[in-house]
Structure 1
Amino acid sequence: MILRASWWSGLPPAAGSAVMATGIISVGLHLLGHETASRAALALAVAAWLALAADFAVRLFSQRSRWESEADTPPALTAVAATCVLGTRLALLDQTFLAVCLLVLGVVLWLVLLPAVVRHWGHRMPGAVFLVCVATQAIAVLSGTLAAVLPARPLCVVALVFFCLGLALYAAALARFDVANLRTGAGDQWVAGGSLAISALAGAKLVAAPLYGGASHDALRTVTLIVLALDLAWYLVLLLAEVRWPRPRYDVRRWATVFPMGMTAVAALSVSTAARIPWLEGLGRVLLWIAVAAWLCVCAGAVRAALRPAAAARSPR
């Protein structure tokens, strides 16, 4: 009870990035053929998503003022991204019905949350501002994934619309991003690159779709490669910033570091297949294991943070 009251109920909306990070690690492990480890990560992502969904519902119906104060902040959009990332992994397991349900839920959440977030945008914002792009592209990725097993045309159109909208939102978010966050950020500064990574993954889904051919296919392929190159450039800049200004202490926003790492790996692997660029597969493999190592480090920090309140409560006064 102590742990639940003092830690779990106090988690901010940014905690949804833990589901995003774990879900994309599961996708990456699946792409590399490590199915047992992938399903283990999926089980953790599902458990975390269900717990956070329950907490979301409690705040919506029992703590309405708190829910409203959090719903117009960028981290609230982790609800959309986490839902769609989880749906993408389930779609790869041929759990089409569940994936479609999560797509519908993701779109509904996006329609509710995104306008509120954008209305309350400011200037010199942290990396979480890029979640407007991540949430939008997560819908594009799930739509593109489902297009492989369901009627492709409507889903490909949805994926293309959200892909283009996501890129526009990225440009708008970039104009509001505080570059000083590279030095002071607690982890969510990585979303600046992660939003491009998920955009590249969405582009890869469109490049692989049978609906687009000829000039459309070439244009999508070119845009996807440019977006991936920009993502890799961001990855290098963010990594150098971590070396220059180390931030070793755990923060829940560190899950927003793991997610871009894992997403960049998955994007490289997917673009390699869709655009037929073999060397990107090797890069993706290396980046995925780096992301797995980061996931383990952040997970250890999260466990310590969860246990700390209980340990403090048991200590003599």
Structure 2
Amino acid sequence: MPASTTPPPSPLHTWWSQRPPAAGAAVMATGIISVALHQTGYETLSRIALALASAAWLALAGDFIARLVLDRPRWLKDAATPAALTAVAATTVLGTGFTALGWETLAEALLALAALLWPGLLITVARHWRRHMPGAVFLSCVATQGLAVLGATLAAAEKTAWLAHTALALFWMGLALYVLAMPRFDLRQLAHGAGDHWVAGGALAISALAGSKLLAADSPGLYLWNDDDEGVLRTVTLAVLALDLVWYAVLLLAEFAWPRTRYDVCRWATVFPMGMTAAATLSVAAVEDVPWLETLGEVLLWIAVAAWLAVTAGAVRAYAAPSTLAPPENSTPPEPPEPDVTSTTRR
């Protein structure tokens, strides 16, 4: 009797195995572009983007639950990777988009869900930090600042002081996590990263957005911050935005110096920082009443939209060509005995 052979995985199975990190980053990228389009008055496009982000989020949530129930060992393994925090970040970005429609109740539910997931995933991921990691290491900051953004946005909409103060604490914690993650980031990713190296700048962008939302949340009725507190928050927000724009320029120059034209699922993690930088610039411009920042933000928005279209086209081509769906390789060799938890980059 001939020996049995295991059939090769189908293209659909291979695509599905990549779905969690791809879906999480895709929700973040599409959701923040929806927010930025709303900021610039393109309501129809904003709602279309929000609908797409919602559909991707539902796919992400379904996969999250299916793995938890049906494949718990795989779920626990995935939960130790930095990409697991995209579940928190994607949920907060989607909630922020819903507040623009006045759907505060739904946004509150998403905030509660993200807050429930955040501590366990953050601790699990941080325990697996090591040296020479890709840009995904900054997702600890992104997830934390996502909670701050959504909390501050809801605090402004509902005039809730305690939520604003909680968001402020998360804002400072997010900055601290960025500082802790920075020494673990492998700067060689600027030349060899598959796309998630852009999160090094995106984490600063969402921090600046959180700061601007906290400033906007203050009102005579709430009186959240005194003059000294507001001055410090304003200074830090502007400084973080400036650093983000510097990172944006460096990362963009690196793309020209070391072209990476092949599609990779990590490219969704490139679109997200681009869109987040646009949203942060527009938000700071509105709070500080700086017209030239508004113009810059709108230019950055359309660059992000172009990048989103390019990555979407790449994703469609990749699905149509099964050979391009192989799991990405790690461009940085793991250091034994630590497990390889950052297989998100390609040579």
**Partners of 1:212 and 1:290 in 2: CA distance:** 35
Distance change in 2, residues 1:234/1:10 (3 Å)? closer
Rg larger in structure: 2
The one-letter code sitting in structure 2 at the alignment partner of 1:276 is D
Q: Deviations over 1:83-126 (max 9, x none)?
A: 00000000111111110000000011101200000011111111
The question of whether the paired residues in 1 share the 8 Å contact of 2:205 and 2:240 is answered with yes
**Partners of 2:46 and 2:232 in 1: CA distance:** 33
Structure-to-structure mapping, 1:1-317, within 5 angstroms: 4-210=12-218, 211-309=224-322
The question of whether the paired residues in 1 share the 8 Å contact of 2:29 and 2:271 is answered with yes
Distance change in 2, residues 1:29/1:84 (3 Å)? same
**Partners of 2:63 and 2:84 in 1: CA distance:** 13
Q: Deviations over 1:250-307 (max 9, x none)?
A: 1000000000000000000000111222211000000000000000000001111122
Partner of 2:157: helix, strand, or coil? coil
Distance change in 2, residues 1:311/1:221 (3 Å)? closer
The question of whether the paired residues in 2 share the 8 Å contact of 1:21 and 1:255 is answered with yes
Question: Is 302-311 or 213-222 further displaced after alignment?
Answer: 302-311
The one-letter code sitting in structure 2 at the alignment partner of 1:287 is L
The one-letter code sitting in structure 2 at the alignment partner of 1:309 is P
Partner of 1:143: helix, strand, or coil? helix
**Partners of 1:311 and 1:273 in 2: CA distance:** 43
**Partners of 1:18 and 1:30 in 2: CA distance:** 18
The question of whether the paired residues in 2 share the 8 Å contact of 1:194 and 1:260 is answered with yes
Structure number having the greater helix percentage: 1
Partner of 2:321: helix, strand, or coil? helix
Task: Measure how far apart 1:207 and its partner are.
Answer: 1.3
- 2:339 is matched with which residue? none
The question of whether the paired residues in 1 share the 8 Å contact of 2:212 and 2:283 is answered with yes
Partner of 1:122: helix, strand, or coil? coil
Runs of 4+ in 1 over 6 A off after TM superposition: none
**Partners of 2:132 and 2:323 in 1: CA distance:** 37
**Partners of 1:244 and 1:78 in 2: CA distance:** 28
Give 5+ residue unaligned stretches, structure 2.
1-8, 219-223, 326-347
Distance change in 2, residues 1:167/1:311 (3 Å)? closer
Question: Is 159-168 or 271-280 further displaced after alignment?
Answer: 271-280
The question of whether the paired residues in 2 share the 8 Å contact of 1:87 and 1:100 is answered with yes
The question of whether the paired residues in 2 share the 8 Å contact of 1:143 and 1:156 is answered with yes
**Partners of 2:139 and 2:195 in 1: CA distance:** 13
The question of whether the paired residues in 2 share the 8 Å contact of 1:188 and 1:254 is answered with yes
The one-letter code sitting in structure 2 at the alignment partner of 1:279 is W
**Partners of 2:199 and 2:233 in 1: CA distance:** 23
Question: For the aligned residues, what is the CA RMSD?
Answer: 1.6
The one-letter code sitting in structure 2 at the alignment partner of 1:294 is A
The question of whether the paired residues in 1 share the 8 Å contact of 2:33 and 2:304 is answered with yes
**Partners of 1:303 and 1:39 in 2: CA distance:** 22
The one-letter code sitting in structure 2 at the alignment partner of 1:91 is T
The question of whether the paired residues in 2 share the 8 Å contact of 1:147 and 1:155 is answered with yes
